[in-house]
Protein backbone atom coordinates (compact mmCIF):
# COMPACT_ATOMS: atom_id res chain seq x y z
CA UNK A 1 0.00 0.00 0.00
CA UNK A 2 3.07 2.18 0.13
CA UNK A 3 3.02 3.37 -3.45
CA UNK A 4 6.76 2.77 -3.60
CA UNK A 5 6.57 -0.53 -5.43
CA UNK A 6 7.60 -3.94 -4.15
CA UNK A 7 11.15 -4.32 -2.89
CA UNK A 8 11.07 -7.78 -1.31
CA UNK A 9 10.07 -11.01 -3.00
CA UNK A 10 6.38 -11.59 -2.17
CA UNK A 11 7.02 -15.35 -1.95
CA UNK A 12 10.26 -15.70 -0.01
CA UNK A 13 11.22 -12.20 1.15
CA UNK A 14 14.56 -12.17 -0.70
CA UNK A 15 15.63 -8.72 -1.87
CA UNK A 16 17.73 -9.40 -4.93
CA UNK A 17 15.84 -9.84 -8.19
CA UNK A 18 16.83 -9.88 -11.85
CA UNK A 19 15.11 -7.78 -14.54
CA UNK A 20 12.72 -10.20 -16.23
CA UNK A 21 10.14 -8.53 -18.47
CA UNK A 22 9.91 -4.92 -19.56
CA UNK A 23 6.24 -4.57 -20.45
CA UNK A 24 6.34 -0.82 -20.82
CA UNK A 25 3.20 0.92 -19.64
CA UNK A 26 -0.21 -0.69 -20.09
CA UNK A 27 -3.71 -0.07 -18.72
CA UNK A 28 -5.39 -2.39 -16.24
CA UNK A 29 -6.34 -5.53 -18.17
CA UNK A 30 -9.21 -6.91 -16.10
CA UNK A 31 -10.48 -4.53 -13.48
CA UNK A 32 -10.93 -1.21 -15.24
CA UNK A 33 -14.29 -2.00 -16.96
CA UNK A 34 -14.29 1.01 -19.30
CA UNK A 35 -17.80 2.10 -20.36
CA UNK A 36 -16.95 3.27 -23.87
CA UNK A 37 -14.32 2.88 -26.54
CA UNK A 38 -13.04 6.34 -25.84
CA UNK A 39 -12.78 5.71 -22.14
CA UNK A 40 -11.03 2.42 -22.86
CA UNK A 41 -8.42 4.11 -25.04
CA UNK A 42 -7.84 6.82 -22.47
CA UNK A 43 -7.25 4.49 -19.53
CA UNK A 44 -4.24 5.39 -17.47
CA UNK A 45 -1.07 3.48 -18.39
CA UNK A 46 0.71 1.73 -15.55
CA UNK A 47 4.29 0.41 -15.47
CA UNK A 48 5.02 -3.30 -16.02
CA UNK A 49 8.52 -3.81 -14.67
CA UNK A 50 8.62 -7.49 -13.86
CA UNK A 51 11.62 -8.96 -12.07
CA UNK A 52 12.47 -12.49 -10.99
CA UNK A 53 13.63 -13.36 -7.49
CA UNK A 54 17.09 -14.87 -7.91
CA UNK A 55 16.56 -17.06 -4.86
CA UNK A 56 13.15 -18.66 -5.47
CA UNK A 57 12.29 -17.68 -9.13
CA UNK A 58 9.09 -15.83 -8.20
CA UNK A 59 8.09 -13.29 -10.86
CA UNK A 60 6.71 -9.93 -9.74
CA UNK A 61 6.15 -6.38 -10.92
CA UNK A 62 8.40 -4.27 -8.75
CA UNK A 63 6.60 -1.11 -9.96
CA UNK A 64 3.24 -2.42 -8.73
CA UNK A 65 1.20 -0.13 -6.52
CA UNK A 66 -1.75 -1.74 -4.78
CA UNK A 67 -3.55 1.59 -4.62
CA UNK A 68 -3.84 1.66 -8.41
CA UNK A 69 -6.00 -1.47 -8.52
CA UNK A 70 -9.67 -0.70 -7.86
CA UNK A 71 -10.73 -3.86 -6.03
CA UNK A 72 -13.02 -1.73 -3.94
CA UNK A 73 -15.43 -1.02 -6.77
CA UNK A 74 -14.79 -3.76 -9.31
CA UNK A 75 -15.07 -7.44 -8.58
CA UNK A 76 -12.45 -9.82 -9.89
CA UNK A 77 -14.57 -12.46 -11.61
CA UNK A 78 -11.94 -14.98 -12.55
CA UNK A 79 -13.97 -18.17 -12.55
CA UNK A 80 -14.78 -19.58 -15.90
CA UNK A 81 -17.51 -22.12 -16.36
CA UNK A 82 -15.65 -24.48 -18.64
CA UNK A 83 -16.23 -28.21 -18.33
CA UNK A 84 -12.63 -29.02 -17.41
CA UNK A 85 -12.70 -26.40 -14.71
CA UNK A 86 -16.02 -27.71 -13.29
CA UNK A 87 -14.59 -31.23 -13.10
CA UNK A 88 -11.51 -29.91 -11.35
CA UNK A 89 -13.65 -27.99 -8.84
CA UNK A 90 -15.90 -30.95 -8.08
CA UNK A 91 -12.96 -33.25 -7.47
CA UNK A 92 -11.24 -30.65 -5.35
CA UNK A 93 -14.32 -30.16 -3.17
CA UNK A 94 -14.57 -33.90 -2.59
CA UNK A 95 -10.89 -34.01 -1.70
CA UNK A 96 -11.21 -31.13 0.73
CA UNK A 97 -14.15 -32.74 2.50
CA UNK A 98 -12.34 -36.08 2.72
CA UNK A 99 -9.66 -34.41 4.87
CA UNK A 100 -11.79 -32.61 7.44
CA UNK A 101 -14.00 -33.73 10.35
CA UNK A 102 -17.66 -34.67 9.84
CA UNK A 103 -18.83 -31.20 10.89
CA UNK A 104 -15.93 -29.09 9.75
CA UNK A 105 -15.09 -25.45 10.15
CA UNK A 106 -13.90 -24.37 6.72
CA UNK A 107 -12.76 -20.78 6.21
CA UNK A 108 -12.34 -19.39 2.72
CA UNK A 109 -10.17 -16.33 2.22
CA UNK A 110 -11.46 -14.31 -0.72
CA UNK A 111 -14.76 -16.10 -1.26
CA UNK A 112 -15.91 -13.87 -4.14
CA UNK A 113 -19.43 -14.94 -5.12
CA UNK A 114 -19.19 -17.75 -2.52
CA UNK A 115 -20.02 -20.48 -5.03
CA UNK A 116 -17.09 -22.64 -3.90
CA UNK A 117 -17.99 -22.38 -0.21
CA UNK A 118 -21.69 -22.92 -0.94
CA UNK A 119 -20.76 -26.03 -2.93
CA UNK A 120 -18.89 -27.45 0.07
CA UNK A 121 -21.82 -26.70 2.34
CA UNK A 122 -24.23 -28.48 -0.01
CA UNK A 123 -21.99 -31.54 -0.13
CA UNK A 124 -21.45 -31.64 3.65
CA UNK A 125 -24.33 -30.04 5.59
CA UNK A 126 -23.95 -29.42 9.31
CA UNK A 127 -20.53 -27.82 9.17
CA UNK A 128 -19.54 -24.20 9.47
CA UNK A 129 -18.40 -22.49 6.27
CA UNK A 130 -17.10 -18.98 6.81
CA UNK A 131 -15.96 -16.68 4.02
CA UNK A 132 -13.84 -13.53 4.28
CA UNK A 133 -13.75 -11.11 1.37
CA UNK A 134 -13.88 -7.32 1.73
CA UNK A 135 -15.32 -7.07 -1.78
CA UNK A 136 -17.39 -10.25 -1.80
CA UNK A 137 -20.91 -11.29 -0.88
CA UNK A 138 -22.03 -11.07 2.76
CA UNK A 139 -24.68 -12.47 5.06
CA UNK A 140 -25.64 -15.83 6.56
CA UNK A 141 -27.09 -18.48 4.29
CA UNK A 142 -27.68 -21.76 6.11
CA UNK A 143 -24.28 -23.15 7.12
CA UNK A 144 -22.50 -20.46 5.10
CA UNK A 145 -21.48 -17.22 6.79
CA UNK A 146 -19.97 -14.53 4.58
CA UNK A 147 -18.08 -11.64 6.11
CA UNK A 148 -17.26 -8.61 3.97
CA UNK A 149 -13.90 -8.01 5.62
CA UNK A 150 -10.31 -9.17 5.60
CA UNK A 151 -9.29 -12.35 7.37
CA UNK A 152 -7.07 -11.25 10.24
CA UNK A 153 -5.02 -14.13 11.62
CA UNK A 154 -4.61 -12.40 14.99
CA UNK A 155 -8.39 -12.43 15.48
CA UNK A 156 -9.85 -15.17 13.39
CA UNK A 157 -7.56 -18.16 13.92
CA UNK A 158 -8.43 -18.22 17.61
CA UNK A 159 -12.07 -17.28 17.06
CA UNK A 160 -12.91 -19.88 14.42
CA UNK A 161 -10.32 -22.64 15.00
CA UNK A 162 -10.62 -23.63 11.35
CA UNK A 163 -10.10 -27.22 10.31
CA UNK A 164 -9.12 -25.91 6.90
CA UNK A 165 -8.36 -22.53 5.37
CA UNK A 166 -9.03 -22.27 1.67
CA UNK A 167 -7.21 -19.63 -0.40
CA UNK A 168 -7.90 -20.06 -4.09
CA UNK A 169 -6.44 -17.54 -6.53
CA UNK A 170 -5.99 -15.06 -3.72
CA UNK A 171 -2.41 -15.17 -2.44
CA UNK A 172 -0.99 -13.92 -5.75
CA UNK A 173 -2.93 -10.69 -5.15
CA UNK A 174 -1.42 -10.07 -1.71
CA UNK A 175 1.47 -7.67 -1.25
CA UNK A 176 3.21 -10.25 0.90
CA UNK A 177 1.60 -13.68 0.87
CA UNK A 178 4.53 -15.08 2.83
CA UNK A 179 3.87 -12.57 5.60
CA UNK A 180 0.20 -13.56 5.63
CA UNK A 181 1.03 -17.26 5.99
CA UNK A 182 3.64 -16.53 8.65
CA UNK A 183 1.02 -14.65 10.61
CA UNK A 184 -1.42 -17.55 10.34
CA UNK A 185 1.31 -19.95 11.49
CA UNK A 186 2.19 -17.72 14.41
CA UNK A 187 -1.39 -17.36 15.60
CA UNK A 188 -1.96 -21.08 15.09
CA UNK A 189 0.88 -21.68 17.55
CA UNK A 190 -0.73 -19.15 19.86
CA UNK A 191 -3.99 -21.09 19.67
CA UNK A 192 -2.08 -24.30 20.42
CA UNK A 193 -3.02 -26.00 17.16
CA UNK A 194 -1.99 -26.62 13.61
CA UNK A 195 -4.01 -24.86 10.90
CA UNK A 196 -4.29 -26.73 7.64
CA UNK A 197 -4.65 -24.75 4.44
CA UNK A 198 -5.48 -25.44 0.82
CA UNK A 199 -3.68 -23.02 -1.46
CA UNK A 200 -4.30 -22.62 -5.18
CA UNK A 201 -2.44 -20.16 -7.41
CA UNK A 202 -1.70 -19.78 -11.13
CA UNK A 203 1.60 -21.34 -12.16
CA UNK A 204 4.02 -19.63 -14.54
CA UNK A 205 6.57 -22.42 -14.93
CA UNK A 206 5.85 -22.28 -18.66
CA UNK A 207 6.69 -18.61 -19.14
CA UNK A 208 10.35 -19.07 -19.92
CA UNK A 209 10.16 -22.29 -21.99
CA UNK A 210 7.41 -20.79 -24.17
CA UNK A 211 8.43 -17.11 -24.03
CA UNK A 212 4.76 -16.22 -23.66
CA UNK A 213 3.97 -12.86 -22.10
CA UNK A 214 0.19 -12.59 -21.72
CA UNK A 215 0.24 -13.58 -18.04
CA UNK A 216 2.18 -10.44 -17.18
CA UNK A 217 -0.28 -7.61 -16.74
CA UNK A 218 -0.80 -5.09 -13.99
CA UNK A 219 -3.33 -6.94 -11.87
CA UNK A 220 -1.12 -10.05 -12.04
CA UNK A 221 1.68 -8.39 -10.15
CA UNK A 222 2.91 -11.54 -8.45
CA UNK A 223 3.29 -14.91 -10.17
CA UNK A 224 4.24 -18.20 -8.60
CA UNK A 225 6.51 -20.83 -10.01
CA UNK A 226 6.61 -24.27 -8.43
CA UNK A 227 9.88 -23.29 -6.80
CA UNK A 228 8.58 -20.00 -5.46
CA UNK A 229 5.52 -21.64 -3.94
CA UNK A 230 7.77 -24.18 -2.23
CA UNK A 231 10.05 -21.36 -1.05
CA UNK A 232 7.10 -19.48 0.41
CA UNK A 233 6.01 -22.54 2.36
CA UNK A 234 9.56 -23.07 3.58
CA UNK A 235 9.75 -19.44 4.69
CA UNK A 236 6.73 -19.87 6.93
CA UNK A 237 7.71 -23.28 8.26
CA UNK A 238 4.73 -24.97 6.61
CA UNK A 239 4.54 -28.73 6.54
CA UNK A 240 3.64 -29.54 2.94
CA UNK A 241 1.18 -32.43 2.77
CA UNK A 242 0.86 -32.33 -1.00
CA UNK A 243 1.86 -30.07 -3.84
CA UNK A 244 0.60 -30.75 -7.34
CA UNK A 245 -0.11 -29.20 -10.69
CA UNK A 246 -3.62 -29.03 -12.08
CA UNK A 247 -5.30 -27.78 -15.20
CA UNK A 248 -2.58 -28.85 -17.60
CA UNK A 249 0.15 -27.47 -15.38
CA UNK A 250 -1.28 -23.95 -15.29
CA UNK A 251 -2.39 -24.11 -11.66
CA UNK A 252 -0.51 -25.06 -8.51
CA UNK A 253 -2.40 -26.69 -5.67
CA UNK A 254 -1.14 -27.52 -2.21
CA UNK A 255 -2.35 -28.74 1.13
CA UNK A 256 -0.12 -27.51 3.93
CA UNK A 257 -0.19 -27.37 7.71
CA UNK A 258 0.82 -24.14 9.43
CA UNK A 259 2.12 -23.84 12.95
CA UNK A 260 5.08 -21.73 13.98
CA UNK A 261 7.54 -23.13 16.54
CA UNK A 262 6.66 -22.45 20.19
CA UNK A 263 10.01 -20.64 20.40
CA UNK A 264 8.41 -17.79 18.44
CA UNK A 265 5.80 -17.41 21.17
CA UNK A 266 8.56 -17.37 23.79
CA UNK A 267 10.36 -14.56 21.96
CA UNK A 268 7.11 -12.60 21.83
CA UNK A 269 6.47 -13.18 25.53
CA UNK A 270 9.96 -11.91 26.35
CA UNK A 271 9.37 -8.90 24.08
CA UNK A 272 6.19 -8.13 25.96
CA UNK A 273 8.03 -8.32 29.29
CA UNK A 274 10.72 -5.93 28.05
CA UNK A 275 8.12 -3.55 26.66
CA UNK A 276 6.21 -3.51 29.93
CA UNK A 277 9.37 -3.15 32.03
CA UNK A 278 10.52 -0.18 29.95
CA UNK A 279 7.08 1.40 30.14
CA UNK A 280 7.26 1.22 33.94
CA UNK A 281 10.92 2.30 34.11
CA UNK A 282 10.21 5.40 32.07
CA UNK A 283 7.96 6.67 34.83
CA UNK A 284 10.21 5.46 37.67
CA UNK A 285 13.36 7.00 36.24
CA UNK A 286 11.61 10.23 35.33
CA UNK A 287 10.52 10.48 38.98
CA UNK A 288 14.09 9.84 40.20
CA UNK A 289 15.37 12.49 37.83
CA UNK A 290 12.80 14.97 39.01
CA UNK A 291 14.04 14.53 42.59
CA UNK A 292 17.67 14.85 41.45
CA UNK A 293 16.89 18.07 39.58
CA UNK A 294 15.85 19.63 42.88
CA UNK A 295 19.06 18.53 44.66
CA UNK A 296 21.01 21.69 45.50
CA UNK A 297 24.27 19.77 44.94
CA UNK A 298 23.67 19.89 41.20
CA UNK A 299 23.57 17.30 38.42
CA UNK A 300 25.52 16.89 35.21
CA UNK A 301 24.84 14.51 32.37
CA UNK A 302 27.98 13.13 30.77
CA UNK A 303 27.63 12.86 27.01
CA UNK A 304 25.47 14.91 24.70
CA UNK A 305 24.90 12.76 21.65
CA UNK A 306 24.02 9.17 20.79
CA UNK A 307 23.04 7.15 23.86
CA UNK A 308 23.17 10.21 26.09
CA UNK A 309 20.84 12.13 23.80
CA UNK A 310 18.54 9.09 23.69
CA UNK A 311 18.52 9.02 27.51
CA UNK A 312 17.63 12.69 27.77
CA UNK A 313 14.92 12.41 25.13
CA UNK A 314 13.35 9.32 26.68
CA UNK A 315 13.32 10.54 30.27
CA UNK A 316 12.49 14.16 29.54
CA UNK A 317 15.76 15.77 30.71
CA UNK A 318 14.78 19.23 29.60
CA UNK A 319 17.30 22.08 29.55
CA UNK A 320 15.49 23.97 32.32
CA UNK A 321 15.91 21.24 34.96
CA UNK A 322 19.13 19.71 33.53
CA UNK A 323 21.08 22.58 32.03
CA UNK A 324 24.50 20.97 32.47
CA UNK A 325 25.67 18.50 29.83
CA UNK A 326 29.40 17.74 29.43
CA UNK A 327 31.36 15.55 27.05
CA UNK A 328 34.90 14.13 26.92
CA UNK A 329 34.98 14.76 23.20
CA UNK A 330 36.12 18.31 22.43
CA UNK A 331 34.65 18.08 18.93
CA UNK A 332 31.15 17.94 20.41
CA UNK A 333 31.66 21.00 22.59
CA UNK A 334 29.56 23.96 21.51
CA UNK A 335 26.98 21.79 19.77
CA UNK A 336 23.55 21.17 21.22
CA UNK A 337 21.73 18.10 22.49
CA UNK A 338 19.20 16.95 19.88
CA UNK A 339 15.66 17.46 21.10
CA UNK A 340 16.36 18.99 24.51
CA UNK A 341 18.74 21.75 23.37
CA UNK A 342 21.42 21.97 26.11
CA UNK A 343 24.71 23.38 24.89
CA UNK A 344 27.39 20.70 25.33
CA UNK A 345 30.33 21.85 27.46
CA UNK A 346 33.79 20.32 27.79
CA UNK A 347 34.18 18.07 30.86
CA UNK A 348 36.61 20.58 32.44
CA UNK A 349 33.60 22.79 33.18
CA UNK A 350 33.00 20.45 36.15
CA UNK A 351 36.37 21.39 37.71
CA UNK A 352 35.18 24.95 38.26
CA UNK A 353 31.50 24.06 38.69
CA UNK A 354 31.46 20.85 40.71
CA UNK A 355 28.26 18.82 41.00
CA UNK A 356 27.13 16.17 43.48
CA UNK A 357 25.84 13.80 40.82
CA UNK A 358 27.05 12.80 37.37
CA UNK A 359 24.73 10.67 35.23
CA UNK A 360 26.48 8.52 32.63
CA UNK A 361 23.88 7.22 30.15
CA UNK A 362 26.15 4.79 28.20
CA UNK A 363 26.61 2.18 30.93
CA UNK A 364 29.46 0.30 29.26
CA UNK A 365 31.53 3.50 29.00
CA UNK A 366 31.03 4.43 32.66
CA UNK A 367 34.27 2.74 33.78
CA UNK A 368 36.34 4.78 31.32
CA UNK A 369 34.53 7.95 32.31
CA UNK A 370 35.05 7.32 36.02
CA UNK A 371 38.77 6.81 35.33
CA UNK A 372 38.82 10.03 33.33
CA UNK A 373 37.11 11.92 36.16
CA UNK A 374 39.62 10.57 38.71
CA UNK A 375 42.51 11.57 36.45
CA UNK A 376 41.07 15.05 36.04
CA UNK A 377 40.21 15.40 39.73
CA UNK A 378 36.51 15.62 39.06
CA UNK A 379 34.95 14.04 42.14
CA UNK A 380 31.16 13.94 42.29
CA UNK A 381 29.59 12.25 45.29
CA UNK A 382 27.87 9.74 43.03
CA UNK A 383 27.97 8.49 39.47
CA UNK A 384 24.63 7.09 38.33
CA UNK A 385 23.80 4.74 35.49
CA UNK A 386 20.46 3.48 34.29
CA UNK A 387 19.93 -0.16 35.23
CA UNK A 388 16.90 -2.38 35.57
CA UNK A 389 14.35 0.38 35.71
CA UNK A 390 16.23 2.64 38.10
CA UNK A 391 19.25 4.90 38.43
CA UNK A 392 21.93 3.03 40.39
CA UNK A 393 25.29 4.07 41.79
CA UNK A 394 27.98 2.86 39.41
CA UNK A 395 30.59 2.26 42.11
CA UNK A 396 28.46 1.00 45.00
CA UNK A 397 25.33 -0.39 43.35
CA UNK A 398 24.45 -3.81 41.94
CA UNK A 399 24.68 -3.99 38.14
CA UNK A 400 26.64 -5.97 35.51
CA UNK A 401 29.00 -3.17 34.36
CA UNK A 402 32.33 -3.27 36.18
CA UNK A 403 35.49 -1.30 36.40
CA UNK A 404 38.09 -3.48 34.60
CA UNK A 405 40.66 -4.61 37.16
CA UNK A 406 38.24 -4.17 40.06
CA UNK A 407 36.52 -7.30 41.33
CA UNK A 408 32.78 -7.66 40.92
CA UNK A 409 30.93 -8.14 44.20
ZN1 LIG B 1 11.82 -15.23 -3.75
Q: How far is the CA of 61 from the centre of ligand 1 (A)?
A: 13
Percent of the chain with pLDDT over 70: 95
Instruction: State the pLDDT confidence band at 83, using cuts at 50, 70 and 90.
Output: confident
| CATH superfamily placement of domain 284-393 | NAD(P)-binding Rossmann-like Domain (3.40.50.720)
Determine the distance separating the centroid of ligand 1 and the alpha carbon of 183, expressed in angstroms. Answer: 18
Question: What would the pLDDT profile of 91-132 be if each residue is shown by its tens digit?
Answer: 999 999 999 999 999 999 999 999 999 999 999 999 999 999
- What is the CA(181)–ligand 1 centre distance, in A? 15
Per-residue pLDDT, averaged over 248-270, amounts to 97
Ligand 1: distance of its center to the CA of 237 in Å? 15
Helix (H) or strand (E) holding 122: helix 115-123
pLDDT at 4: 67
Rounded distance from Cα 242 to ligand 1 centre (Å): 21
Q: What confidence score (pLDDT) does residue 209 get?
A: 97
pLDDT at 67: 87
Confidence bin at 404 (pLDDT 50/70/90): low
Dihedral pair phi/psi, residue 108, rounded to 5°: -105, 130
Domain boundaries, the chain: 17-68, 83-264, 284-393
Q: 83-264 with 284-393: one CATH topology?
A: yes
pLDDT bucket at 77, cuts 50 / 70 / 90: very low
- Residue pLDDT, tens place only, 321-376: 999 999 999 999 999 999 999 999 999 999 999 999 999 999 999 999 999 999 99
Residues 96-109: b if buried by 16+ CB within 10 A, e if exposed: bbeebeeebbbbbb
In CATH, the architecture of 83-264 is 3-Layer(aba) Sandwich (3.40)
**Is residue 1 predicted with pLDDT exceeding 50?**
no
pLDDT in tens, 201-214: 999 999 999 999 99
Q: How far apart are the C-alpha atoms of 266 and 72, rounded to whole Å? A: 38
C-alpha to C-alpha distance for 171 and 200, rounded to whole angstroms: 8
Amino acid sequence: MSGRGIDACPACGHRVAAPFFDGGEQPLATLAWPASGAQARELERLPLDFVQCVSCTHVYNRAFDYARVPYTTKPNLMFNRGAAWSTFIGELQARILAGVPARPVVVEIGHGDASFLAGLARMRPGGRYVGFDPHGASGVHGDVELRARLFEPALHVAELKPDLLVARHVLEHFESPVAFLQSIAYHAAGAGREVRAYVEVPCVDRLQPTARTVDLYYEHSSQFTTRSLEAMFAACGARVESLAHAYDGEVLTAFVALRAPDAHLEVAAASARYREATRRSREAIAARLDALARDPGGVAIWGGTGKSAAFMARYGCDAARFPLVVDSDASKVGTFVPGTGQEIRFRDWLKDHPVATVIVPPQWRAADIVREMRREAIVPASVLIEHDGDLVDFLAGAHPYRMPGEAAD
